[in-house]
Amino acid sequence: MPPVAASPPVPPAGDRRVVRVVPDVRALRKDFDYLVPPEVAARVRVGTQVRVVLHGRRVGGWVVADHVAPPDGVALRPLAAVRGWGPPPAVLELCAWAAWRWAGPRTGFLRTASSPVAVRALPAPRSGGRGRGPGGPGAGPEGGPAAGAAVPAEVVGAALAGGTAVVRLAPAADPLPLVAGAAARLGRGGAGSGVLVLAPAHAQAAAVAARLRGAGLPVALLPGDWAAARAGGCVAVGTRAGAFAPLPRLDAAVVLDAHDEAYHEERAPTWAAWAVVEERCRRDGAPCVLVSPCPTLELLGGRHPLTTSRAAERRGWPALEVVDRRHDDPRTGLFSERLVALVRSAAPGRRVVCVVNRTGRVRLLACAACGDLARCETCGGALELGGGDGPPVLHCRRCGAERPVVCARCGATRTRALRLGVSRVAEELAALAGAPVAQVWGPAAPATGEDPDRAPVVVGTEAALHRVGAAHAVAFLDFDAELLAPRFRAGEQALALLARAARLVAGGPPRDATPGTGGGAAGWRAPGRVLVQTRQPQHPALEAAVSADPGVLAGAEAEVRRALGLPPFGAVATVSGAGAPAYGPDLAAAAPPGVEVRGPSDGVWWVRAPDHASLCDLLAGVARPEERLRVEVDPVRA
């Protein structure tokens, strides 16, 4: 950007009004003082977005303090312009905390908390009030009858009693009673306070907002209704970025499907929306409700989840059929007899979705003699061939353990790779089923072959679970690629996929509502089923889904995580990028007792600490190099 002509510095402020500004420059972690011109004084307050001259060019920024005393003898420049309203003071403080918690620049969080367009004026605050309540005891996730039981009033009351509550609801259960209970608290925090509701996808957020509006409640759907949320007195509904919604104060907050990876920002800083909401509620003294069919250990945080009755939770999970492929004829490839029968049952109005993840997943190794999967004896992860220039070894990317290339079951020394591919699977299934097959590649990529909303058989990655409206059956062709993925959260993420599939086959009208399959009473579906092909039928994630008890997996995961010092029994960060060779050794030199810095391994440094306070203080206390640096705190894919 070329330099701009600017007014020269003026003498020290004296009795003039001075504000402190955070410039919107990512690489600059410093505040600057500016004078407030009299003509814009009425529009400037803490949080206001402004334009300032910095080093000869005009940049954006946020006012973070008012009526400050600048250093003696410093000549100050005036603000160049006022852009409009920005986040309230409480959100500014939250952004500063998030910058420390996830080791990133404050400006990134301030951008997330700000309106995408300039806001010159706010609408009149809407008066909070009690509506008639969204939906009702028989309302389902899309507004129709629910497959699962409604949330009992005692669970709603306990969840909103105060502090953070984790509510474990079956995939088919309707969480709207919890949202309605939170909305009933609107206005308790005083003028301008509001209620915050997050959903992992915009379509879900829009559906929740529509039901709340239908109940007569004031609703701001973010980011479009940012100004209405900034005025307060409403229920703000949004996705991940909604964690920084500009409500001046929270009365309550609900995070739906809090386990969903969509709440985790993949770009550094890799912050988690549910953790931001929890901290925000703690500061405002508001209840925070984290809703999930399969709460992760980080969500639980040592808390016991609130649940419905066992009978109600079982009804909310579909039938799960586990196909044990350990002793199948290898010539059958990916297709067991049970899978072939399921696919052949597909017909117009009876859709089968087949999931085969091939992107970003482990290349599984199996013994060439007995077919047993190569697994780590320490953490249970998948093993891959390694060894570099030396003798080949089996290496675990999850915990770093290594062992000779010997089958733990039969002692054979030869392995074979198990490869998967969506296109090839689609071709073979089309031949087996004798029906059109659609392919779904990703969340945004166009589908190939048949229309996925019309085809009786859909084959794709896990994106198919999000892009297909409804199905009568979901089949995971090789679930071991999920169970053995080289991440310490692999089991939890695998169970989350099963929960998503369970919601897809829940009873109710199909979303596409084609003639004869939806819209009327005859179009309602009975709950479908989920089929899983695996060589690990006794994996805790599968046992949890079969028994409709996610606590089975949580108990097994807790033992491994505690032994390895992984979250939530410790804090982990990874450091990579061009600046890592300089930053990693500096971290190791400054690490206090109890904090371990290892690396580099494939260009990545690992930092492990007993808690987040120790980890984040270390990351914040070591000066960063000028080269590009990526710091991931609580990496989701690690």
Check residue 388 and give its pLDDT: 63
Mean pLDDT score of the chain, rounded to an integer? 86
- Identify the architecture of domain 570-633 in CATH: 2-Layer Sandwich (3.30)
Is residue 597 over pLDDT 80?
A: yes
- Residue 128 structure tokens: 């909070």
- Residue 148 structure tokens: 């699962």
Check residue 229 and give its pLDDT: 97
- CA 109/CA 267 separation, integer angstroms: 12
Check residue 6 and give its pLDDT: 46
What would the pLDDT profile of 9-51 be if each residue is shown by its tens digit?
555 555 689 999 999 998 888 899 999 999 999 999 999 999 9
Q: Band of the pLDDT at 514, cuts 50, 70, 90?
A: very low
Q: Which fold would CATH assign to domain 153-313?
A: Rossmann fold (3.40.50)
Short-list 352, 366, 495, CA closest to 420: 366
| Pairwise pLDDT comparison (319 vs 452), residue with the higher score | 319
Q: Band of the pLDDT at 56, cuts 50, 70, 90?
A: confident
Is residue 1 over pLDDT 50?
A: no
Residue for token pair 């196909």? 323
Q: Band of the pLDDT at 517, cuts 50, 70, 90?
A: very low
DSSP annotation string for 349-398: TB-EEEE---SS---EEEETTT--B-B-TTT--BEEEE-TTSS-EEEETT
111-148 burial code (b ≥16 CB/10 A, e <16): bbbbbeeebeebeebbebeebebbbeeebbbbbbebbb
Q: What pTM, to 2 d.p., does this model score?
A: 0.84
Q: Band of the pLDDT at 61, cuts 50, 70, 90?
A: very high
For residues 68-77, average pLDDT: 88
Report phi then psi at 448, rounded to 5: -115, 160
CATH superfamily of 318-363+419-548: P-loop containing nucleotide triphosphate hydrolases (3.40.50.300)
Check residue 429 and give its pLDDT: 85
Q: Band of the pLDDT at 448, cuts 50, 70, 90?
A: low
Across 4-8, 74-78, 110-114, 131-135, which has the greatest mean pLDDT? 110-114
Is residue 447 over pLDDT 60?
A: no
Q: What is the largest CA-CA distance in the chain?
A: 87
Task: Give the three-state DSSP class for 241.
Answer: helix
- Identify the architecture of domain 18-113 in CATH: 3-Layer(aba) Sandwich (3.40)
Check residue 442 and give its pLDDT: 65
Contact 271, 265 (CB under 8 A): yes
Taking the CB of residue 86, how many other CB atoms lie within 10 A of it?
A: 24
What would the pLDDT profile of 460-488 be if each residue is shown by its tens digit?
888 889 888 889 999 999 899 899 888 88
Report phi then psi at 557, rounded to 5: -65, -40
Residue for token pair 């969480």? 175
**Same fold? 18-113, 318-363+419-548:** no
Taking the CB of residue 412, how many other CB atoms lie within 10 A of it?
A: 14
- Residue 437 structure tokens: 């097959």
Amino acid at 388: G
Short-list 331, 409, 420, CA closest to 373: 409
Task: Give the three-state DSSP class for 601.
Answer: strand
What would the pLDDT profile of 192-212 be if each residue is shown by its tens digit?
899 999 999 999 999 999 999
The residue extents of the domains of the chain are 18-113, 153-313, 318-363+419-548, 570-633
Contact 560, 605 (CB under 8 A): no
Which DSSP letter does residue 581 get?
A: H
Short-list 281, 208, 238, 279, CA closest to 229: 238
